[in-house]
Structure 1
């Protein structure tokens, strides 16, 4: 893939993907996602142009070095448990994009990462739970990128910087995670720590220059309630990739809900 002068730079996003296969659920659980779903439904119309493809940095794929899905017709990976039987037969039928996978690997290798393609990897719920409400037609090619198993914030920011050219090539780069992810303290138990960490996150990103926000993210463990919000930061580090790819673009709140999952504060962000 190469730059197209007719394509303007595509914004990049860190998005909360929610729990399991929620877009295929009914009843109270699905209703709990009404605000998030409305935000995701409006994402593509807000761009002003249709991206050529989507690169999803998935918090549900951890590898020692970057791995990029290159299957032309990705299978499904039902990486959840305890959900209704029908959710283990759902399909998000978007095509892959081997060309974008190869381009992503090349950019990462140029920056010193030992990136590799993975021709067998299927869509995990960090990808299809977002893409179903974003593009239910499933006609946009989607490629997945793993996070790094060491969770090093600076390495993830560096990955993002290397991937920034994709945004000028019509690629929508999405970091898929959750701004608060402590499964042992959801609902009311997570209200205070999630609010403290979420406020820090918004203060550190919105209205802040590139150098300052990258420095804050690199030191995220010093934030209020950091380890209560993220005992394991796999759901946070996709944000680091997105922040790296954002460059000097301004950050705004894409979605905020103070009572998500019955009581936790969560925020999604847009850069550009």
Structure 2
């Protein structure tokens, strides 16, 4: 049974040569962008979460491994700051930001390394785009990152030697600001770095506890998940951004997302993708949750 309450990414020439060399055989012109719906911490166990979403994330993980990225940059629903913050530890610790679960879940591991050099590079990119940004140490990565990534890349992680950097969401709930953050990160795609947003396409925990986790989808879960799909997949560029911003005006949006932190990561992904096509990889609505998983590619 899965009941949960969630609590609330100045470089030198050597680094640039190491991570961004265009002569590397694995280099591609522009990496895809992804959005994962991550659910609660039990999502890491296929038989206790949403198996269809689990399988979709696992398949995309294999795809990402095959791309041989130089790094992964992720924006999770579970980290918001007034100044955009970027993890900069050499090795990533885990934040067990969930409560009331069996003790063994607080001993799960997902070993990954960070990169202070890449963190500084990202902060400078954000500042160059007019955003306030800073690096932070000893913060760790939250379950909105390591739980779905554990599904994607395995408990011992197939990308343990690939730097993983987490970037915070903005503290405000402006969709335009999250899109702007995505646009500011977009240049990383030309450096063979993968950008991933992690949230939920529908996320109302209060109604989930009232209606039951495995209950039939509530009307707003179906209607908003579909509206988001249409906005993401039928438009590109500024038209998509405008369509996605207008979703915040829908009557069902406030029920689908009483607070917007689980929705905003897909706005970051869309901003980073810009003119690239959005494709729905998987979705399912259960009770008051939507499990949309997306890929953006040219």
Larger displacement relative to structure 2 (186-195 or 61-70)? 186-195
Report matched runs for 1:55-94 at 5 Å: 55-94=73-112
Cα drift, residue 135 of structure 1? 1.0
The answer as to 2:31 corresponding to 1:45 is no
Q: Secondary structure at the match of 1:233?
A: coil
Checking the alignment, whether the CA contact within 8 Å between 2:123 and 2:135 is kept in structure 1 is yes
Cα RMSD over matched residues?
1.8
User: Which stretch of the first structure deviates more once superposed, 117-126 or 96-105?
Assistant: 96-105
Q: Deviations over 1:30-87 (max 9, x none)?
A: 3432111111111133355221211110110110010000111111111000110011
Q: Is the 8 A contact 1:57 1:147 kept in 2?
A: yes
Match of 1:129 in 2: 147
Q: Is the 8 A contact 1:257 1:265 kept in 2?
A: yes
1:209 alignment counterpart: 236
- Assess if the C-alpha contact under 8 Å between 1:15 and 1:176 holds in 2: yes
For structure 1, the residue ranges without an aligned partner over 5 or more in a row are none
1:142 aligns with 2:169: no
Structure 2 unaligned regions, length at least 5: 1-15
Q: Find the residue that maps to 2:92 and give its secondary structure.
A: coil
Change (3 A) 1:159 1:265: closer
> Which of residues 242, 245, 250 is equivalent to 2:277?
250
Q: Deviations over 1:121-174 (max 9, x none)?
A: 111101001110111132132110101111211111111111111111111100
Asked if 2 retains the 8 angstrom alpha-carbon contact of 1:4 and 1:168, the reply is: no
Structure-2-length-normalised TM-score: 0.84
Deviation at 1:244, TM superposition (A): 0.6
Equivalence for 1:199: 226
Q: State the 1:197 CA deviation.
A: 0.3
The aligned counterpart of 1:36 is: 53
**Is residue 261 of structure 2 the alignment partner of residue 234 of structure 1?**
yes
Aligned partner (choices 76, 88, 111) of residue 129 of structure 2: 111
1:14 maps to 2:39: no
| Alpha-carbon distance in structure 2 between the residues aligned to 1:189 and 1:79 | 28
Q: 1:151 to 1:264 in 2, by over 3 A?
A: closer
Q: Which is further off, 183-192 or 86-95?
A: 183-192
Contact 1:180 1:265 in 2 (8 A): yes
Specify the alignment match of 2:13 in structure 1. Answer: none
Distance 1:205 1:212 in 2: 10
Q: Deviations over 1:223-262 (max 9, x none)?
A: 2510000000001111111111002100100221233xx5
Deviations 1:90-112 (A, max 9, x none): 22111112222111111101011
Structure 1 counterpart SS, 2:119: helix
CA distance in 2, matches of 1:125, 1:180: 18
Q: In structure 2, how many angstroms separate the alpha carbons of the residues matched to 1:237 and 1:3?
A: 32
CA contact under 8 A between 2:279 and 2:294: conserved in structure 1?
A: yes
CA offset at residue 21 of structure 1?
A: 4.5
Provide the rounded CA distance (Å) in 2 between the counterparts of 1:265 and 1:160.
Answer: 22
